[in-house]
């Protein structure tokens, strides 16, 4: 038996998620989102999707193409800062970087499948599609393992009170209205449940004594006082030199405008 197997994408997904922080850890069932799986032409996939439209949900098998490394243990972003065996997690860093997502199927339009909320980045290769069957895929009473503790924690009110400075509030409003960049709801939840150091959550203490939380290129600076978190300001994470030199930086226009508006005082 050969030690390697070949797979080829059947298509690629078009989502609005350019950067990892924009894609949820799992699809957000509350999101009003339409995404498209574009199947490749010339492979008879028109025939392969026949009869799919009758299913409400489908499984997508896909490839974490933006990852190159893996570790046998991973620190999940939710819950206590504890490493878990990678096979007991949904970590994107796996020996075979295969993702599995159950998604709403909205409609089939030729080689395009219109689907609901997804946790895939734009351009992710899709390897396979299967119908989701409640009769064989659904076991709602199954044990959740270590995730039960996390779900229980997140079902309680957050132990930290999160406040915004006037500056941070104005910056977040500006990012949302001018550039449709919005990470505040997620940030508020992360900071409310546990604002302390956590590598996967991208939280660290910086030399000036403040804490910093990262979302893609955006940085939230804050202080913790007992059970209160006060967000001081938002900054962007690139040096001016890099912003000028690298055309391919995602959200580059927003980042440059942010520097002009908020960081050139």
Binding stretches for ligand SAM (CB under 6 A):
20, 23-26, 64-67, 90, 92, 99-101, 119-121, 124
Residue 123 is encoded by which pair of tokens? 């351009």
Pairwise CA distance, residues 112 & 206, whole Å: 46
Nearest residue to the partner ligand SAM, using Cβ: 66
25/73 with CB nearer ligand SAM: 25
**Closest distance of CB 165 from ligand SAM, Å:** 28
CB 93 within 8 A of CB 85: no
For the residues of 159-185, what is the DSSP string, one character each?
Answer: SSEEEE-HHHHHHHHHHHHHH----HH
144/240 with CB nearer ligand SAM: 144
For the residues of 100-136, what is the DSSP string, one character each?
Answer: EEEEEEEEEETTEEEE----PPTT-EEEEEEE--HHH
93/210 with CB nearer ligand SAM: 93
**Closest distance of CB 76 from ligand SAM, Å:** 8
Pairwise CA distance, residues 68 & 145, whole Å: 28
Pairwise CA distance, residues 12 & 36, whole Å: 9
160/183 with CB nearer ligand SAM: 183
60/211 with CB nearer ligand SAM: 60
**Closest distance of CB 23 from ligand SAM, Å:** 4
**Closest distance of CB 70 from ligand SAM, Å:** 11
Q: Where are the alpha helices (DSSP H) in the chain?
A: 45-48, 134-137, 147-155, 166-179, 184-193, 240-245, 252-258
Pairwise CA distance, residues 159 & 263, whole Å: 32
121/172 with CB nearer ligand SAM: 121
Strand duo 84-85 + 73-74: pairing:
antiparallel
């Amino acid at each position: 038996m050969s030690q390697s197997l070949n797979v080829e994408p059947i298509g690629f997904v078009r989502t609005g998620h350019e950067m990892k922080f924009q894609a949820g850890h799992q699809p957000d069932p509350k999101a009003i989102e339409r995404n498209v799986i574009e199947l490749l032409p010339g492979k008879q996939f028109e025939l392969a999707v026949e009869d799919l439209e009758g299913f409400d949900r489908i499984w997508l098998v896909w490839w974490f193409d933006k990852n190159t490394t893996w570790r046998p243990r991973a620190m999940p972003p939710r819950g206590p800062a504890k490493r878990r065996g990678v096979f007991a997690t949904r970590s994107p860093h796996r020996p075979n970087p295969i993702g599995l997502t159950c998604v709403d199927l909205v409609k089939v339009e030729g080689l395009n499948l219109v689907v609901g909320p997804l946790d895939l980045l734009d351009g992710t290769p899709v390897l396979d599609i299967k119908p989701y069957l409640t009769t064989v895929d659904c076991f709602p009473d199954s044990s959740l393992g270590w995730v039960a503790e996390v779900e229980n924690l997140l079902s309680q009110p957050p132990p930290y009170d999160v406040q915004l400075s006037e500056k941070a509030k104005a910056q977040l409003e500006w990012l949302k209205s001018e550039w449709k960049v919005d990470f505040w709801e997620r940030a508020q939840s992360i900071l409310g449940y546990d604002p302390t150091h956590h590598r996967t959550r991208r939280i660290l203490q910086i030399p000036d004594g403040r804490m910093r939380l990262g979302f893609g290129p955006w940085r939230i600076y804050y202080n913790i006082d007992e059970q209160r978190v006060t967000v001081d300001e938002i900054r962007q994470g690139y040096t001016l030199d890099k912003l000028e030199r690298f055309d391919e930086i995602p959200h580059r226009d927003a980042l440059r405008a942010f520097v002009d508006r908020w960081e050139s005082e």
